Amino acid sequence: MSNIDNKTQTDSDAHTNNNGYTPPKVWKNDKENGGKFASTNSPTAGARHEKVLPVGDAPLQLYSLNTPNGVKINILLEELAELGIKDAAYDAYKIDISEGDQFGSDFVSINPNSKIPALVDYSPDTEDGKPIAIFESGAIALYLAEKFGKFVPSAAGTQTKARAECLSWLMWQMASAPYLGGGFGHFYAYAPEPMEYPINRFTMETKRQLDVLNRHLKNSEYMCGNGEDAYNISDMVIWAWYGQLALGKLYDAAEFLQVDDYSHVQRWAQKIAERPAVKRAVELELSPIG
């Protein structure tokens, strides 16, 4: 057998698992994929049905679900309410992703990616008097923090370094969560059957991320420093995923991941969990969309 034949055989073996599966040359969506969200999974985007979303009287309209991604924005909105900022008042509506609400026509017009959360700002000072739609939790958090001048360092003067740190950790969370939620969470809790390789792969990455946080928080009360003024949107978005994970709130995986070993993450997570706004955020009542 030639070297080329040897390489071809090796490549083929590398793509064949113990169950004898070999990926086809062209993937086709011709089988039920199983798992918790199998009924809503599809390789195509866009609206699947007509659905008008309700609009309340508050300046901000939130369309979401109390998953970690949704809780991020719940926390920020409740922290703004805690400060008494009336212009940050909001109505919150439930988008049931297990029922396909995220594929309704109105929701897709707000977020073409059909993921929660999504927010519409109807404030009178919006550009041209038209509402502003924002999707992606990181974008929503930054938009609201900058709009109200709270929980994000200013870009001016000596605070540039603080802002850079806040945005770095904000983007770290946005980039890391797919490994935790889409990777570990999916294969550990939602896949139709346990599979050793993906569980091991994403467990390793999740624990590495917990270690990143633990090392960072060793000498820091919050993600970007010490004292109440240091608490910002990076803490909120990271806590919604990794704080809740450390406190045993996600995937029933606390023992499996040995989350108690990350003592600095534990201290930080518990401190944030005790905040009144955070307590309200995780239990936020979402109105049905009808």
Express each pLDDT in 24-77 by its tens digit: 999 888 877 766 666 777 888 999 999 999 999 999 999 999 999 999 999 999
Nearest by Cα to 110 from 93, 98, 86:
93
Handedness of CA 18, 22, 28, 31 (dihedral sign): negative
Express each pLDDT in 105-163 by its tens digit: 999 999 999 999 999 999 977 668 789 999 999 999 999 999 999 999 987 655 588 99
pLDDT recorded at residue 40: 78
Q: What is the DSSP string of 172-239?
A: HHHHHHIIIIIIIIIIIIISSS--HHHHHHHHHHHHHHHHHHHHHGGG-SBTTBSSGGG--HHHHHHI
CATH of 158-275, one of 1.10.3720.10, 1.20.1050.10, 1.10.150.120, 3.40.50.300: 1.20.1050.10
Domain boundaries, the chain: 158-275
- Contact by Cβ (8 Å): 102, 48: no
- Whether the predicted pLDDT of 255 surpasses 80: yes
Mean pLDDT of 192-219: 97
Lowest average pLDDT, out of 116-130, 201-215, 275-289, goes to: 116-130
Mean pLDDT of 285-289: 98
- Whether the predicted pLDDT of 10 surpasses 50: no
Q: What percent of the chain has pLDDT over 90?
A: 80
State the Cα–Cα distance between residues 290 and 276, nearest whole angstrom. 30
Lowest average pLDDT, out of 29-43, 89-103, 252-266, 271-285, goes to: 29-43
Mean pLDDT of the chain: 91
More confidently predicted of 12 and 265? 265
Amino acid letter, residue 83: L
State the Cα–Cα distance between residues 71 and 241, nearest whole angstrom. 9
Residue with tokens 């909001």: 90
- Please give the structure tokens belonging to residue 29: 């969506």
- Whether the predicted pLDDT of 16 surpasses 90: no
